[in-house]
Amino acid sequence: MQNPYSDETFLARWLNNDLDPKEKMEFENSEEYQKYKVIIDRVGMLKSPVYDKDRNLKKIKEEMLNTTDTSKVISFLPKWTYGIAATLLVLLGLFFFFNRSTVYKTNYGEQMTVQLLDGSEVILNSKSKLSYKESEWKENRKVVLLGEAFFKVKKGSKFTVISESGSVQVLGTQFNVNTQKDFFEVICHEGKVKAIGAKDSDSAILVKGKAFRITNTVVENWETETSLPSWLSGETTFTNTPLKQVIQSLENQFNISFDTKKINLNQRFTGSYSHKNIEIALKTIFVPMEISYTFNNENNIVLVKE
Amino acid sequence: MEKKSVCEEKNFELIFDDCSESLRNIIYYKCGDLNLAEDIIQDAFVKLWKNCKKVVFYKAKSYLFTVANNNLLNHIAHKKVVLKYEQKPHTELNDQDPQFIIEEKEFMAKLKKAIDNLPEKQRETFLLSRIDKKSYKEIAEITGVSVKAIEKRIHYALVSLREKLGDIL
């Protein structure tokens, strides 16, 4: 097709009123202009067929619903909730990661020496458990004890031993803690410790050689001469200790159980037994107490008052 | 650039309001089949909805056009197009003599035929501009070509019409 004009957009620019004044004047004075004007005027009388927007939208929405049912999964929860859930999970994970406890446990007849982060030393007696939180250690030297342990605490900030039946606070010293159900015993071997029972009023400040005990809420204080707990050297020593605790100690040491229905557990025992031999240990304790012991089976012993 | 999601129904309807009619018309100007044109744009909008995550809001128009255009190519083996229009009443004609009215009608018929015979792209561009009153920029946006290309199409469409109607003008 021939193009009678200077460029290929001339008429488009004319329609858009984009011609410069000179071009425009020349064009409007031409014969051609009249013809184009007629065409444009007549085209201007044409309209596209009626468009029913609502009908079309309705049809599209019906289709959209069908698609939604088959291939588009509508989330039960808005998307951002997944983000929050994931974040919480991570935070929870971090919380438990940083908040987890370090735990040491001994089994029947075992002992274990544990070095804490500050160089303090803990020796766990049999069937005992010690735990602490590494994350809080710097601010707070705090350990949780179940059972019996001997502590050699390095000097520093307050050091606390927490148990079910009481707690001990020290600055730096050596002491023994024995904590069982309804029994809490602290013996100070060096320095100065503060023992606190379940009730704050049941507390005592102990210096070297002093001992403190709560048995079924009854507080006792006494003195001891040993510089170290005897159980560290393979012997367990009792000073006027209720039989219940003595039997508990035997059970922990030798992995045995006692039938104690026929004896009085509140009797007191003073003395010690060796960890080496169960027969000798039983004899050492029960003969003086006038209690007979018979093996029911390998691990169960029946005690009867003679 | 706005970050509207096409997946939100209100945005989707915004797009529909904005361009569904001109899209229907483009397809109609191309194929001359009104029902087919409406089917095709409906399909295009449904496809946009299915792919709403992949389509950026401001690209939606040209996406719809591309989809509709491809769809149209699947449908027709280029039948001869005969467009029908709603015609505005010709106010000047009312009091004219019957001879003039007849001549005018003949002219309109020839004009329509000349438009039908324009190449498809010139036809759709010319009519979008003259009937739908779309600016060159808008047409360029929808069809995905440059404004310059649109101007050329308009120019040549008009030259062509002038040539075909030359003897009766």
Q: pLDDT per residue over B35-50, tens digit each?
A: 989 999 999 999 999 8
Alpha helices in chain A (DSSP H): 10-15, 21-28, 31-43, 53-70, 79-99, 243-254, 278-286
**Domain boundaries along the sequence of chain B:** 9-85, 99-165
Q: What is the pLDDT of residues A171-197, one digit of tens each?
A: 778 899 998 888 899 999 888 888 888
For residue B87, the chain A residues in CB contact (below 8 A) are: 45-47
Cα of B115 to nearest chain A Cα, Å: 9
Q: Does domain B9-85 have CATH number 1.10.1740?
A: yes
Highest mean pLDDT (candidates A35-39, A229-233, B98-102): A35-39
Q: What is the CB neighbour count within 10 angstroms for residue B10?
A: 8
- pLDDT greater at residue A306 or residue A126: A126
Nearest Cβ partner of B46 from A11, A42, A64?
A64
Pick the CATH number of A234-305 from 3.50.50.60, 1.10.3720.10, 3.55.50.30, 3.40.50.450: 3.55.50.30
Bridge partners (DSSP) of residue A143 are A161
Q: Phi/psi of residue A141, each to 5°?
A: -80, 100
- A108-112, A135-139, B137-141: which has the minimum mean pLDDT? A135-139
pLDDT at B93: 55
CB contact at 8 A, A261 and A299: no
- pLDDT greater at residue A225 or residue B165: B165
Strand blocks (E) in chain B: 86-87
Nearest Cβ partner of B34 from A3, A35, A49?
A49
Q: Do A46 and B87 touch (CB under 8 A)?
A: yes
Q: Do B169 and A38 touch (CB under 8 A)?
A: yes
Q: Does domain B99-165 have CATH number 1.10.10.10?
A: yes
For residue B147, the chain A residues in CB contact (below 8 A) are: none
Q: What is the pLDDT of residues A34-84, one digit of tens each?
A: 889 989 988 988 888 888 989 999 988 888 887 654 445 555 667 778 888
Candidates A46, A61, A62: best to mutate against B (most CBs of B within 10 A) is A46
Nearest Cβ partner of B20 from A9, A36, A56?
A56
Averaged pLDDT of chain A: 86
Does this model's pTM top 0.80? no
Residue ranges, comma separated, of all CATH 3.55.50.30 domains in chain A are 234-305
ipTM score for this prediction: 0.85
DSSP secondary structure, A36-81, as one string: HHHHHHHHTTEEPPP--HHHHHHHHHHHHHHHHHHTPPPPSS-HHH
Q: Give me the mean pLDDT over the A128-140 stretch.
A: 86
For residue A51, the chain B residues in CB contact (below 8 A) are: 20-21, 24-25
pLDDT at B102: 84
Bridge partners (DSSP) of residue A236 are A273
The CATH class for the domain spanning A104-230 reads: mainly beta
Residue ranges, comma separated, of all CATH 2.60.120.1440 domains in chain A are 104-230
pLDDT at A140: 85
A146: DSSP letter: E
Q: Give me the mean pLDDT over the B88-100 stretch.
A: 67
pLDDT at B1: 47
